[in-house]
């Protein structure tokens, strides 16, 4: 491989050494990024923050969905009432049982 803009030719001994060095530096940078990411996540967790998508329903609305389902209300009506999708209601009902 020959990088015309950088003047690196991997078919020569010096070019091969340069490509190896660049690979080592890229791997080292990746590990630095991993460590910084893990440290940032640990710090956020220590402050009480959690990642991921927010819950569609809080605990009160989830309990209401389960109660309405137990009372025989149609899942589609519960979903409309709580302004969520039908599969969301099914997941909350399954988790409660």
Q: What ranges do the domains of the chain cover?
A: 2-46, 59-96
d(CA 85, CA 30): 39
- What is the crossing angle of helices 86-96 and 75-82, to 10°? 110
Both tokens assigned to 97: 């049982």
CA distance 23 to 42: 29
pLDDT digits (tens, 9 = 90+) for 9-24: 788 888 889 889 999 9
pLDDT > 90 in the chain, percent: 73
CATH of domain 59-96: 1.10.10
Q: What is the pTM of this model?
A: 0.54
Give pLDDT tens digits for 17-64. Answer: 988 999 999 999 999 999 999 999 999 999 999 888 888 999 999 999
């Amino acid at each position: 491989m020959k990088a015309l803009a950088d003047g690196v030719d991997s078919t020569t001994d010096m070019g091969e050494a340069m490509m190896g060095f660049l690979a080592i530096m890229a791997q080292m940078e990746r590990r630095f990024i991993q460590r910084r990411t893990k440290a940032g996540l640990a710090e956020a967790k220590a402050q009480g923050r959690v990642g991921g998508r927010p819950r569609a329903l809080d605990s009160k609305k989830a309990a209401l969905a389960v109660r309405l389902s137990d009372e025989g209300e149609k899942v589609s009506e519960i979903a409309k009432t709580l302004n969520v999708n039908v599969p969301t209601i099914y997941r909350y009902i399954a988790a409660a049982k």
